[in-house]
A and B are shown apart, each in its own frame.
Chain A
């Protein structure tokens, strides 16, 4: 029979347009959020992060918006380029069980496939 995988949301944009990728997170106590980009055959690569005491952070061509009221995160990419085509993951932080020096446990969303059209 046919295998069923994750339903990966997709977004197609024209080259040069702006892209907005959305993410809903689950844990209201999460204090740190991060966006990763994963190109085909590669590992996830950091794009931008934001802490819960902020609602907006800007990087080079990217902006992350955080709405804690509705537990929503978005990634905006300005002037989208062909090289931006990839799967984008949001992740939220859950602190490890140790009280000091604990590592960050990230919980990843399912990802959004961004395709940039010429």
Chain B
């Protein structure tokens, strides 16, 4: 099993540009989580899906952030327009319904 796959691993963009982060969960896992990690705020849950349905998006910072899960094997987190304060490492994690969440390697986003 390849584990949770995220792309790109690094993204550098300019303020105002649209950014799309991608995640492929572990096959068979029915829940998917998006987290953001910064020095200021630590690891924060942004949104999670259960069976492709968004369950709780209360952690999404503002309307510039949106997330979709069109099928069980793919999810995107989009920021439009991006701002320098969005610079962080974004993690995707998946869960099969019992114990721990499995994290991907993360996408390091830098917004100039």
Q: Could you say which residues of chain B place their CB within 8 Å of the CB of A96?
A: 48, 50, 55-56
Q: Could you say which residues of chain B place their CB within 8 Å of the CB of A42?
A: 105-106
Decide: B39 and A102 in contact? CB cutoff 8 A.
no
Q: Give complex CA distance A102, B93 in Å.
A: 15
Interface residues on chain A, number (Cβ under 8 Å): 27
Instruction: Summarize B's interface: helix, strand, loop or mixed.
Output: strand
Q: Could you say which residues of chain B place their CB within 8 Å of the CB of A11?
A: none
A6-B41, A101-B30 are known contacts. Are A43 and B55 too (CB-CB below 8 A)?
no
Q: Give complex CA distance A49, B95 in Å.
A: 14
**Interface segment, B14-22, B67-75, B76-84, B96-104?**
B96-104
Q: Could you say which residues of chain B place their CB within 8 Å of the CB of A102?
A: 50, 55
Which A90-110 residues have a C-beta within 8 angstroms of B? 96-98, 101-110
A43-B106, A44-B103 are known contacts. Are A103 and B42 too (CB-CB below 8 A)?
no
A34-B100, A49-B100 are known contacts. Are A105 and B56 too (CB-CB below 8 A)?
yes
Encoded as 1 (CB less than 8 Å from any B CB) or 0, chain A from 66 to 108 comes to: 0000000000000000000000010000001110011111111
Decide: B48 and A105 in contact? CB cutoff 8 A.
yes
CB distance from A4 to the nearest CB of B (A): 8
Q: Give complex CA distance A49, B103 in Å.
A: 15
Decide: A103 and B50 in contact? CB cutoff 8 A.
yes
Q: Taking the complex as formed, is A5 at the interface, i.e. its CB lies under 8 A from any CB of chain B? A: yes
Decide: B42 and A108 in contact? CB cutoff 8 A.
yes
Could you list 7 further interchain pairs (A-B, Cβ under 8 angstroms) beyond the known A43-B93, A97-B56? Answer: A3-B39, A6-B41, A44-B43, A103-B48, A103-B55, A104-B95, A111-B43
Interface residue ranges, A against B (CB under 8 Å):
3-6, 34, 36, 42-46, 49, 89, 96-98, 101-111
